[in-house]
Amino acid sequence: MANNHDDFVDINSTKDVRQVYGRNREQRPVKRKNKGLGRRIFVLVLSLIMLLVGSGLIFYYKILDQMTFKALDPAPTVTSNISETTTYSVANGGATLLSSDNVLNILLFGQDTPASEQDHGRSDTTILLSIDNVNKKLKLTSFQRDTYVTIPGYGDNKINAAFTFGGERLSIDTIETNFGVKVDKYATVDFSSFRKVIEALGGVDIELTLEEIKYINAQIDVNDQLDVTSFLTYDETKEKQMVHLDGYQALWYARDRGEDSLGGNPEYSFSGDDWDRTSRQRNLIETIIKSLREDASLTELVSIANKIGPLITTNLKKGDITFLVSNMMTYINYDMEEMSLPTLGTWRYGTTNDGQSVIAIDDWDGVRKEVAKFIFEDSVSTGSSSTSPTAAAGVQ
């Protein structure tokens, strides 16, 4: 899939339609009044098909017009197709980014509040969705929000600070600078819109642990949300069970990283951390995709797009979206894989000079190689790992 999507979609007809007529000379000639009847019927049917298709395209482009398209300022051109040299360059902190015509990387942001001219809000969720058309896979890569990285123009800080400082553009630059992978596009949804997206899907059926269910109920209680949602019912004897989540309940599940004495109530104490939360976010996305795979038709997907289109901010062009939707029935049947960064053995908990608790990466070489291998698989040669804690300066 090309990195330059200006000509992402080229819709044309490649079939030659040809009718061959013939008749036996011994047959009696057809009466003149019936001549061309079959041809007229064919034209009528074709006209109806064109009318339906045309109406569908008009409807679909009305959907696209409802979406919020926000182009980003151009980033420095540092992309390259994958090669062994490129991989080594990235792994050792080089400026060349990994990309592939056959892999589309879309950075998904979960924003805590809607952005304004004065405030970008905060990125509560940052997940890279990679559509790998070589290996027929959908890949989800989560970035821990407390990861200590270099933010271009702002020095070292937690990775989610990039969104606060400069929105999607700076967040993308930060991901590319630190992890060495080209981000092709982005899509952002805030918490309010996230709830509406879940509602547009009709909610989500998902298996949760008993503690996860109780956490959701506790948040609903503490935040006085019984006027907009309800408590989940559950079986106390079952450690895991299927539940149906509405938008409010799904948001609490996606934000669950545990809590001690939630709302000041010692009975509302739950184990967990940000690693658990990112795992839940990926699980939610995977569950939704599996549900669409089993139940949704292309017509239903277009209907869903109509509902959620206005809720999303993106720099995907209309042609990009048309292409993705038209191929969605293929993509949702791809195998799904997931990764959480940084990976085991490459990081430690640290404290910055100003007292912040952060996740400090000690092996940037290893992290970049693992990211490259996960997203591009056999297209890269990662070589041996070495220690390169470039963004961990000032962390004890």
Residue 93 has a pLDDT of: 55
Q: How many C-beta atoms surround the C-beta of residue 162 within 10 A? A: 29
pLDDT tens-digit map of 265-291? 999 999 999 999 999 999 999 999 999
Amino acid in position 198:
I
Which tokens hold the place of 348? 């430690």
Q: How far apart are CA 68 and CA 246, in angstroms?
A: 24
pLDDT tens-digit map of 173-192? 999 999 999 999 999 988 88
Q: How far apart are CA 33 and CA 38, in angstroms?
A: 12
Closest CA to 158 of 358, 340, 354, 341: 358
What separation, in Å, do the N-terminal and C-terminal C-alpha atoms of the chain show? 42
Q: Is the pLDDT of residue 57 over 80?
A: no
pLDDT (mean) for 97-104? 90
Pairing of strands 185-190, 103-111: parallel
Greater model confidence, 235 or 59: 235
132's enclosing H/E stretch is strand 123-132
Q: Is the pLDDT of residue 129 over 80?
A: yes
pLDDT (mean) for 367-387? 76
Q: How far apart are CA 197 and CA 189, in angstroms?
A: 9
Closest CA to 120 of 173, 164, 72: 164
Under 8 Å between Cβ of 260 and 215: no
Residue 328 has a pLDDT of: 83
pLDDT tens-digit map of 135-155? 999 999 999 999 999 999 999
Out of 75-79, 110-114, 239-243, give the one with best mean pLDDT: 239-243
Under 8 Å between Cβ of 220 and 229: yes
- Range scoring the smallest mean pLDDT among 33-37, 123-127, 207-211: 33-37
Residue 122 has a pLDDT of: 67
Query: What is the SS3 assignment for 388?
Result: coil
| pTM for this prediction | 0.76
Amino acid in position 196:
K
Query: What is the SS3 assignment for 69?
Result: strand
Residue by residue, DSSP assigns 238-293 as -SEEEEEE-HHHHHHHHH---BSSGGG-TT--B---HHHHHHHHHHHHHHHHHHHH
pLDDT tens-digit map of 9-21? 222 333 332 332 2
- Residue 67 CB contacts under 8 Å (≥ 6 apart), including other chains: 309, 310, 312, 314, 321
pLDDT tens-digit map of 187-206? 998 888 899 999 999 999 99
Q: Is the pLDDT of residue 85 over 80?
A: no
Greater model confidence, 12 or 382: 382
Q: How many C-beta atoms surround the C-beta of residue 25 within 10 A? A: 4
- Rounded mean pLDDT of the chain? 79
Residue with tokens 């569908």: 56
